[in-house]
Structure 1
């Protein structure tokens, strides 16, 4: 089962629509990790499981969502409340509290993924203002039992090979 993960679109609308349309028939869920800067009731956001980022004015978005998706427990957050620009320690405590195995967050605009103590942390980067790379990115997680293939794409849908990885979560 595949899950699309995006973050930090900062007001973009056409790009969100194009990416959703590109992948909606292959994914079971679409996650936005905050800073969409769109209202929750915006028709564009209706298809997304979305959280509130530090630049989102709409207070009806939750700060965190813990949800079962593709037979795995996800923690979805923006990351600013967990200081993810400095460390993953606070967000790792929250993932332990919720027993989440896949943690999706944004805020830093830096695309990447890593496995820590059997939990997978994924930051899809930003489709508006990437940091640390030139590509504007999002990710798709292909979950097969306990194996997760993380594939990053640039905004045009081209695979960003050097960011991709396969993980075994526990």
Structure 2
């Protein structure tokens, strides 16, 4: 496990093995975690705004309610991830696998979800305003409801 690098404040954590690590509340804004293994990690309340997480394995990770605004999660594995109340506004989630992810109350406004897999994801009260959904695989029976504010 490469938790020592996180504790030292290293910003280059690309390819690091942080599976199962307790990183709750970690300050990783702008960090490079591309290709990192964060499966099953506790990243609840973590600050990951602007972080590079492309190709990272976040399957089963707890990211609720983390700040992932503007983060690059292209091609990331977020299967079964907990993202309840997470801020994913302006995040790049193109080609990410979010199947069975829990995204209730998540902010996905202006996010790029092109080509992402949201099959069997939980999206109750998620904000998808302005999101790019071109080619996105949505949950079965999904219907868009536009609310006046």
Per the TM superposition, whether the score is higher than 0.5 is no
TM range (shorter): under 0.3
TM-score (norm 1): 0.25
More helix by share: 1
TM-score (norm 2): 0.27
